[in-house]
Structure 1
Amino acid sequence: AYPFLDVSWLQAIFTIMSSAGSIVFANLSVLFAVGVAVGLAKSDKGTAGLAALLAFLVMNATINALLILTGKLAHENPGAVGQGMTLGIQTLETGVFGGVVIGLVTCTLHHRFNKIALPQFLGFFGGSRFVPIVSSLAAILVGALMTVVWPHFQKLIFGLGGLVDATGYLGTLLYGFILRMLGPFGLHHIFYLPFWTTALGGSEIVNGHLVEGTQRIFFAQLADPNTQHFYEGTSRFMSGRFITMMFGLLGACLAMYHTAKPENKKRVAGLLLSAALTSFLTGITEPIEFSFLFIAPVLYVIHALFDGLAFMLAHMLHITIGQTFSGGFIDFVLFGILQGEAKTNWMFVPLVGVPWFFLYYFTFRYLINRFDFATPGREKEAMVSEATFSQSERAVAVIAGLGGKENLEEVDCCATRLRVTVKDGSKVNDAALKATGARGVIVRGNGVQVIYGPHVTIIKNEVEEILS
């Protein structure tokens, strides 16, 4: 894209990076199979992961065998009939869906049989060793079922993808709005992943292979030197995030700083600056959003509407910048600027983003002053001060805030949130958790989400060490 990048050693590095990165997205299905099984297993997670891997291989080998037996194995242009190569096996392109199905089947069997006691002469195969065996047998049935059902289901998904495409700019706006509105409940992943990883987000023949899902298409095209312009679906389901995360929410942060009480501005500045930098660089927005979500829900609804409009503008301007999981500056440089204006139209992002910054700033500033929202620095009561802890002390404080060891059933995390299952949600102490650095706490029955930001995995590991 740029002459100064056309250096042999630099191109060699880019080739290695592209190959190393594309292998992940080319094998998302098996990663989902293992990830779902490991994530849902309550114990002996290693066995669950191994069983899922074996089951995934067996399922695809079964599909391959049945395609051969029925004479349906495509020898030329397999992508045109919904077939492709998965781990060296020509099979149906079940994609991430197939991986999730195998992960769920394996997890169910793991829960049922990981402690099974067999007769003494078969005792060696009892317990955990039985799980890969029964999972592989089940995978034969799943593979046979997939061979019959999947082609029809695939046509249905292609049809839905066409319906989504037919909604045009309005559909893109609704996609962005709904995606943002689901964020506080932690359900946004469920909403956008089908568009990113299945035919619902479109399908394309890339380098002779059928690729389904916006993100998978983007990374397949990224590795294809013949790509002239990235897939249009990228502008619908991805690129709008850069406008909001790199520009819009920074305007919201500045508005909250300017409307804070004078005596609180110094204290609020560090909080908002850290949150703004996190959003700008990585696209992780929860630290900003949870600073106003509960105290001013109307601001969040307006933010969601602005985000939907940003997606629509990206679609209208054909901005095709992909991303790994979010729309921060790092992904903007890697998948926008370095790919060239001709492929991505990346220059429209700052051209739209600067006005978007001021749109957020003046809207938030007006509404905060007009309705006297208690955004950071404007609280009627003193702000909960964030205590200083060592790692082990913080873990102890987090456990105490969740109601103590005896109240915890399961601890996990996603990219920004500690996700905990507790016995009694009423024992969760919001103030105590916020003192450990949490930006927000959501309690739904026995499910608790504690928003910490990108360093949440460290906190989860600390908590697990204390619990063990």
Structure 2
Amino acid sequence: MSIFHASRSSGVFAAAQRFGKSFMLPIAVLPAAGLLLGIGGALSNPNSIKAYPVLDIAWLQHVFTIMAAAGNIVFANLAILFAVGIAVGLARSDKGTAGLAAVLAFLVMNSTINALLKITGTLAKDSLASVGQGMSLGVQTLETGVFGGVVVGIMTYYLHKRFHKAELPQFLGFFGGSRFVPIVCSFAAIFLGCIMFVVWPHFQKIIFGLGGIVDSTGYIGTLIYGFVLRMLGPFGLHHIFYLPFWTTALGGTAVINGQLVEGTQRIFFAQLGDPATQHYYIGISRFMSGRFITMMFGLIGACLAMYQTAKPEKKKVVGGLLLSAGLTSFMTGITEPIEFSFLFVAPQLYVLHAFFDGCAFMIAHILEITVGQTFSGGCIDLILFGILQGNAKTNWLYIPMVGVPWFFLYYLSFKYLILKFDFKTLGREDDDAESEESEEAVQVTSRAAQVIEGLGGRANIEELDCCATRLRVTVKDPEKVRERLLKASGSRGVLRSGKGVQVIYGPQVSVIKNEVEELMHLDL
């Protein structure tokens, strides 16, 4: 398996990698919140009760109402979650201080905007939605949404990096170091609030315009969106690409229950609890629903193709790996275990996969499939946000109707190309290379020790973190990284660019990270 060397400069790649990783902290809470809101909102909806009278039990409805409220509060406060998550995710040390500073900065920024709205006489008294204002943590302010939270998080990170070791004169020494960070962030947030008050209304118009451009591109634009989204996956930068569509006005706007809601995902969850909703927002079909076709059906066909083309003596081992990876993709929508099994040995297959995925998004748009999701497009989300919502609202029946042919499309094309070009997918590796790797792996026993050794030893590791499926590491000397040891530890692939290294393991990566940290006695 060869290592993929990104063409970008190492500095840009490392910075983008860390920025993309920082999104995973707030994103990680969304599946749980989505489950609460999805189950609670769906089963407490008057239409659901009418369709299923067995749900009409007082105490049961109280439970569902509480679940919906618990889930809804998370989506209603995404901005501050992203502010804290990005600040904590980017900070290399003293992360608690960074998180506290982000909360204070977010509050001060919005309070400053509120004060300026009062001073200028533009504070809305009635319809907040019509003028782009809303409530944030009890403060009436401009609807900056997740974007505002991201800006606060980035600002906090830079100030934290600059001042968390600052030494003040002796008579002010108590306020130095970590204690100075929340102070300087609060003062900076006043100026940020003033800037946002002036700039944001114009920026909001630009976003609305961009949303119009995306809409005007029609089905081809949807295909391009899906293709680009999938191609960014290997770099771990796909979160940066899709989140603006999911959480800002770039993904559309809608007025629901008298409130302006921005972003495809936020609109979906607002409609989820609205009994008046007849059919979910069309933007869901553009930026979300296509995932179900690929993750639940297409990639399963790719797994079968790789299994059938594996060498006979290796099918038993390969079958277990692919069954686990396929089940993960089908149930949860986490696709990296499958994708990284062929990305490095056959990048042509990955480009084809990205094109097919773009086509799946386009077909979902054409058929107006509006099944929303929390994190990814697996069976769990399909049941909650498609089947339980009813076909009239979601057109979910089209997913298996398109999915079955999609399974055969992946299966036939992957099998043909693997055999035609002799791609070394799982179970087709050369025996000599395997024995060489096994010989090297024998020197290291435990998984954590193997990972550390593969990364060049303890002294070579500068920073260690992880996202949903990959270990993200900054090393001192990239030449010391040994891919064979990392592969022997269970890695499905390695990405390197300069000092930035990503080691793909799958959903169990957080356990591996903890094992490595414990062995290294790191306090990251």
Question: Which residue among 313, 319, 324 is the counterpart of 1:263?
Answer: 313
- 1:458 to 1:316, Cα distance in 2 relative to 1, 3 A: same
Matched, 1:311 2:364: no
Between 404-413 and 9-18, report the one with greater CA deviation.
9-18
- Separation of aligned partners in 1, 2:294 and 2:391: 20
Question: Cα distance, 1:420 vs. partner?
Answer: 0.4
- Separation of aligned partners in 2, 1:305 and 1:352: 16
Matched, 1:224 2:274: yes
What residue is the counterpart of 2:78 in the other structure? 28
What residue is the counterpart of 1:169 in the other structure? 219
Contact between 2:441 and 2:484, CA under 8 Å: does it hold in 1? no
- Separation of aligned partners in 2, 1:310 and 1:385: 40
- The alignment partner of 1:336 has SS state of helix
**AA aligned opposite 2:418:** I
Question: Which residue among 475, 478, 497 is the counterpart of 1:425?
Answer: 478
- Separation of aligned partners in 2, 1:181 and 1:114: 37
Q: Counterparts in 2 of 1:23-172, with a 5 A limit?
A: 23-172=73-222
Question: Which residue among 271, 284, 293 is the counterpart of 1:243?
Answer: 293
Contact between 2:98 and 2:181, CA under 8 Å: does it hold in 1? yes
What residue is the counterpart of 2:56 in the other structure? 7
Question: Cα distance, 1:145 vs. partner?
Answer: 0.6
For residues 266-322 of structure 1, what are the alpha-carbon distances to aligned partners after superposition, in whole Å with 9 as ceiling and x for unaligned?
111011111101111111111111111111111111111110111011111111111
- Separation of aligned partners in 2, 1:451 and 1:387: 20
- The alignment partner of 2:494 has SS state of strand
Question: Cα distance, 1:388 vs. partner?
Answer: 11
- Separation of aligned partners in 2, 1:77 and 1:465: 54
Question: Cα distance, 1:86 vs. partner?
Answer: 0.6
What residue is the counterpart of 1:342 in the other structure? 392
Matched, 1:400 2:486: no
**AA aligned opposite 2:158:** T
- Separation of aligned partners in 2, 1:439 and 1:12: 46
Question: Cα distance, 1:225 vs. partner?
Answer: 2.4
For residues 319-350 of structure 1, what are the alpha-carbon distances to aligned partners after superposition, in whole Å with 9 as ceiling and x for unaligned?
11111111111111111111111111111111
Question: Which residue among 439, 443, 446 is the counterpart of 2:492?
Answer: 439
- Separation of aligned partners in 1, 2:270 and 2:508: 30
Contact between 2:280 and 2:393, CA under 8 Å: does it hold in 1? yes
- The alignment partner of 2:446 has SS state of helix
Contact between 2:291 and 2:357, CA under 8 Å: does it hold in 1? yes
Stretches of structure 1 lacking an aligned partner (at least 5 in a row): none
Q: Counterparts in 2 of 1:278-293, with a 5 A limit?
A: 278-293=328-343
Contact between 1:386 and 1:437, CA under 8 Å: does it hold in 2? no
Question: Cα distance, 1:132 vs. partner?
Answer: 0.5
**AA aligned opposite 2:56:** V
Matched, 1:190 2:243: no
For residues 125-178 of structure 1, what are the alpha-carbon distances to aligned partners after superposition, in whole Å with 9 as ceiling and x for unaligned?
111111111100000000011000000000000000011011111100110011
- The alignment partner of 1:74 has SS state of coil
Question: Cα distance, 1:23 vs. partner?
Answer: 1.4
What residue is the counterpart of 1:377 in the other structure? 427
Contact between 2:114 and 2:140, CA under 8 Å: does it hold in 1? yes
- Separation of aligned partners in 2, 1:458 and 1:4: 44
- Separation of aligned partners in 1, 2:54 and 2:506: 35
Question: Cα distance, 1:5 vs. partner?
Answer: 5.7
Contact between 1:5 and 1:11, CA under 8 Å: does it hold in 2? no
**AA aligned opposite 2:150:** V
For residues 377-422 of structure 1, what are the alpha-carbon distances to aligned partners after superposition, in whole Å with 9 as ceiling and x for unaligned?
1112364669999xx9322221111111111111111111111011
- Separation of aligned partners in 2, 1:46 and 1:107: 12
- Separation of aligned partners in 1, 2:93 and 2:385: 39
- Separation of aligned partners in 1, 2:369 and 2:132: 28
- Separation of aligned partners in 1, 2:467 and 2:178: 27
What residue is the counterpart of 2:265 in the other structure? 215
Contact between 2:440 and 2:485, CA under 8 Å: does it hold in 1? no
Question: Cα distance, 1:41 vs. partner?
Answer: 0.9
Question: Cα distance, 1:454 vs. partner?
Answer: 1.1
- Separation of aligned partners in 1, 2:423 and 2:54: 49
Q: Percent identity?
A: 73
Stretches of structure 2 lacking an aligned partner (at least 5 in a row): 1-47
- Separation of aligned partners in 1, 2:225 and 2:165: 44
Question: Which residue among 399, 402, 424 is the counterpart of 1:352?
Answer: 402
- 1:231 to 1:407, Cα distance in 2 relative to 1, 3 A: same
- Separation of aligned partners in 1, 2:113 and 2:481: 48
- Separation of aligned partners in 2, 1:115 and 1:377: 52
Contact between 1:386 and 1:435, CA under 8 Å: does it hold in 2? no
What residue is the counterpart of 1:415 in the other structure? 468
Between 244-253 and 78-87, report the one with greater CA deviation.
78-87
Question: Cα distance, 1:121 vs. partner?
Answer: 2.1
**AA aligned opposite 1:377:** G
Question: Cα distance, 1:231 vs. partner?
Answer: 0.9
Contact between 2:441 and 2:485, CA under 8 Å: does it hold in 1? no
- 1:203 to 1:371, Cα distance in 2 relative to 1, 3 A: same
- The alignment partner of 1:318 has SS state of coil
Number of residues of Structure 1 aligned to a counterpart in Structure 2 = 466
Report the TM-score, using the length of structure 2 for normalisation: 0.86
Question: Cα distance, 1:434 vs. partner?
Answer: 1.3
- The alignment partner of 2:232 has SS state of helix
For residues 178-222 of structure 1, what are the alpha-carbon distances to aligned partners after superposition, in whole Å with 9 as ceiling and x for unaligned?
111111111111111111111111111111111111111111111
Contact between 2:254 and 2:260, CA under 8 Å: does it hold in 1? yes
- Separation of aligned partners in 2, 1:435 and 1:240: 34
